[in-house]
Amino acid sequence: MSTASVEPSIGWGVLHLFFTVDHARAAEKGAGKQIVDAVASLEADGHQALTFTVLGHKADLGVMALGPDLARLRAFQQELAGGPLTLVDSYVSLTELSEYTTTEEQERVRLVDEEGLCGAELDERLAVWSDRMAHYQEHRIHPQLPRKKVISFYPMSKRREADANWYAQPVEERRRIMAGHARIGRTYAGRIVQLITGSVGLDDWEWGVTLLADDPVTIKEIVYEMRFDEASARYADFGPFVTGLVADPLDALAGVGITS
């Protein structure tokens, strides 16, 4: 009997899975077929998966999978475990909207106070803003993962220390700080894709951050620049980083020595 679907009321489930290769089985004929078939089946079911070879010692192969049904993602995880792979680390999260996103009323007040707009011109600017925000929110909740060359993933949490407690700050102060963080992110538009997913109550950290780019220097630069921003410098703690090279399943398996 198949497991009943488990679909979040908001957003999609996201699984980051990290494997080492069982080299005793990897060279067997068709050893990678089950993995390739599992990815194809998941995508046929309306989910997405990115495969990547991991740089460094933390894992050999990484898979990022996301979609509407947590039960389907769990079944996918089990299918991968049937191949010559050993799961050594993972991360569970959900796509989400930022609670600090500007509301339409806040944008209206800004346009009136800062730009002096009114009447038809104000309505026109608000309509353009609303359309742009709708696209942004759809991308946050239901992202379509691009095929970039490099992926970097890390978890993070907000600090709760006596002299730097994020959750003790008023919402408007938190909104002000996060606005500065967002401004930095926008300067990398077109060069990097950033997906922030929520994991409060779901995994050991509070958020997962996935960065996708064609140039690894871009990933290095955005993380470095944001370290100086108040949101990171004062209030953020970071977990381990995993970096990999994105490839089609067949190429990724060949890259880690699995015969397909």
Q: Is the residue at 24 inside a domain?
A: yes
75-104 average pLDDT score: 92
Residue 83 lies in a domain: yes
Mean pLDDT of 23-45: 91
Catalytic entry in 154, 167, 188, 224: 154
Tokens linked to 96: 């989400």
In a domain, 229, yes or no: yes
Domain assignment of residue 81, yes or no: yes
Q: What is the pLDDT of residue 1?
A: 40
pLDDT given at position 30: 82
**Are 172 and 234 in the same domain?**
yes
pLDDT at residue 81, as a whole number = 87
Model confidence band, residue 2 (pLDDT cutoffs 50, 70, 90): low
Mean of pLDDT over the chain: 94
What total number of domains does the chain contain? 2
The secondary structure of the chain as a DSSP string is -PPPP---SSS-EEEEEEEEE-HHHHTSTTTTHHHHHHHHHHHHTT-EEEEEEEPSSS-SEEEEEEES-HHHHHHHHHHHHTSSEEEEEEEEEEE---TTPPPHHHHHHHHHHHH---HHHHHHHHHHHHHHHHHHHHHHHS------SEEEEEEEEE-EETTEEGGGS-HHHHHHHHHHHHHHHHTTTTTEEEEEEE-TTTSSSSEEEEEEES-HHHHHHHHHHHHTSHHHHTTEEE---EEEEEE-HHHHHHHTT---
Domain around 41: 13-96+247-255
Give per-residue pLDDT as tens, 136-189.
899 999 999 998 999 999 999 999 999 999 999 999 999 999 988 888 988 999
Contact present, 228 and 139 (Cβ < 8 Å): no
Residue 169 identity: Q
In a domain, 169, yes or no: yes
CATH number for the domain that contains residue 61: 3.30.70.1030
**Beta strands 150-158 and 13-21: pairing type?**
unpaired
pLDDT at 258: 93
236 and 251: one domain?
A: no
Mean per-residue pLDDT for 74-94?
94
Same domain for 84 and 158, yes or no, is no
Q: Per residue in 169-184, pLDDT tens?
A: 999 999 999 988 888 9
Are 86 and 20 within one domain? Answer: yes
Within a domain: residue 50?
Answer: yes
- Indicate if 251 and 231 belong to the same structural domain: no
Specify if 149 maps to a domain: yes
Residue whose C-alpha is closest to residue 182's, from 216, 225, 239: 225
For residue 6, pLDDT over 70 is answered with yes
Q: Is residue 45 part of a domain?
A: yes
User: For the residues 78-85, what does the mean pLDDT come to?
Assistant: 90
In this predicted structure, the answer to whether residue 130 has a pLDDT above a threshold of 80 is yes
Q: What is the pTM of this model?
A: 0.92
Residues 47 and 72 in one domain: yes
**224 is an active site residue:** no
> Which residue type is seen at 114?
E
Contacts within 8 Å (CB) and 24+ apart, 236-240: 236/156, 236/157, 236/158, 236/159, 237/156, 237/157, 237/158, 237/159, 238/154, 238/155, 238/156, 239/154, 239/155, 239/156, 239/204, 239/205, 240/58, 240/154, 240/155
Q: Is 84 found in the same domain as 165?
A: no
Confirm if 92 and 19 have CB atoms less than 8 A apart.
no
